[in-house]
Amino acid sequence: AAAAAAGADRRRFPPDAGVIGTVPEPAAAAAAADTAPSLLLVFDFDWSLVDANSDLVVLDIAPDVRERLPEMRAEYPCWTERMGWAFRQLHERGASLDDMRRSFAAVPFHEPLKDALRDIVARHPSTEVAIASDANTFFIEAILQRHGLAHIFSQIHSNPAREGEGGVLLIERYHQFEHGCERCAANMCKGLIMDELDKQASGRQQQAQQRRRRRVYVGDSRNDLCPILRMGRGDVAFVRQGEQFSLHPLIKKHGDKVEADVVHWSNYEELSEGLRNLFPPDGGVGAASN
């Protein structure tokens, strides 16, 4: 238990000073720290907040490394370790962190969603917006900065990345302990991250004598199922549809266990409209609609 707590604390937002790619808490969020947010909006990153797999976009720098990735699964069963191998290969080929940053120009971040996010934080200052992602802190931060959105997210929970000797990008597992969740990969349980976000808010809610805040989650893949199953009535899950996205069939399979309202989306116009319906311009809280 002590080891688990130490691992969780070390990866709380923001992580260690040696970790690159973390987003500092925005001034607006710090000013409101004594009040409990009325809503929590959590995004997965790849294929949810952005319309790509950021790991694979970076590997376009060296296509031969990307082609070898499947064969490395036997040696590195965990995706995080497999990407660590890939980053070392990029470094050996002379690719720098700046080369990686430049590659993020190819990651689509759709304007309707960016506009919706800006409107939500401007009109609903009591809403906390966070990220729970199996990418890494360096990629996420670099992409948010490129689009001028770093200030929107109060917390980023992702695999910590840091610059190693000679400029190689090193990546670690988010959870360094055995979390015991059979639904999630060994390096990260997003259900535990959701629990942690709730725990952070519970003390503030008790002090402010407020009820539990409403939770909204946006995801697309199987590692997004666990946090959704921990959500309750009145919460909302935005589930991406499409043949390549594994969350949608899992939601159908586990439908009797899903208490949250489910909103399906297949493009970013639909997602943006759905979020705007939940966060109307008058500052109130809307209803989920599909």
Query: Which stretches within the chain are classed as H helix?
Result: 2-10, 27-31, 54-58, 63-68, 79-92, 97-103, 111-123, 137-146, 190-208, 225-229, 247-253, 268-278
| Catalytic entry in 34, 46, 119, 198 | 46
State how far the Cα of 39 lies from the Cα of 258, in Å rounded to an integer: 19
Please list, in sequence order, all residues whose beta carbon lies within 8 angstroms of the beta carbon of residue 70, skipping any fewer than 6 positions away: none
Q: Would you call 60 a catalytic residue per the annotation?
A: no
Is the Cβ–Cβ distance between 143 and 54 less than 8 Å? yes
Please list, in sequence order, all residues whose beta carbon lies within 8 angstroms of the beta carbon of residue 97, skipping any fewer than 6 positions away: 20, 138, 163, 167, 169
Q: Would you call 44 a catalytic residue per the annotation?
A: yes
Which of helix, strand or coil describes residue 88?
Answer: helix
| Catalytic entry in 9, 16, 34, 44 | 44
Is the Cβ–Cβ distance between 204 and 198 less than 8 Å? no
Parallel, antiparallel or unpaired: strands 127-136 and 155-159:
parallel
The catalytic residues are 44, 46
